[in-house]
Amino acid sequence: MISAQTPPPRSAAALSWPVILGLAVIALARPVTNVVLDQLALDPGPVVPLAWTAVITALWVAVVGIGRVARPLPTLVLVGLAYGVLALALSGILSPLLLGHLSGPLANPLAIVPMLLVNALWGLIAGLLALLVQRGRGVSGR
């Protein structure tokens, strides 16, 4: 029984949805950069996407690890999934406008689940790193 002195359980409430959505939106810099470079007919190869991935991962780890965000693993897995959904939507909006036809994962629905799984894995790896940062700082991230 919950009394006035005992707060209710906060399992889902401990997740910071503004942080999750904010970090996912920031990660859209990666596909937006790819679109801009494609429109400029520039091909930097894998350097720019890999650099963006490293910068975004470092940002996720810093915000969650140093910022003492509760539950770093589920938080960053959800960031990865939210980024995947936002990237799908961005692709669905921009590819018809820029290419004249639907392209990307939405044009090949079998690619959607693997794409989301890869982004969830990205979030999991970042979450493990953020958890290590928190533990190294003596913070319990659960």
What band does 142 get if pLDDT is binned at 50, 70 and 90?
low
> 73-109 pLDDT, tens per residue?
999 999 999 999 999 999 999 989 988 999 989 999 9
Q: Could you give the CA distance from residue 53 to residue 32 in angstroms, rounded to a whole number?
A: 13
- Return the pLDDT at 13: 46
Nearest to 63 by CA among 115, 21, 10: 21
The amino acid occupying position 61 is V
Taking the domains of the chain in order of start, what are their residue ranges?
Answer: 17-136
What tens digit of pLDDT does each residue of 5-21 get?
A: 655 554 554 899 999 99
Length of the chain counted residue by residue: 142
What is the model's pLDDT at position 48?
92
Residues 100 and 44 sit within 8 Å (Cβ to Cβ): no
Q: Indicate the pTM of the whole model.
A: 0.86
Amino acid present at 123: G
Average model confidence (pLDDT) across the chain: 90
Which residue from 105, 111, 109 is spatially nearest to 88, judged by alpha carbons?
105
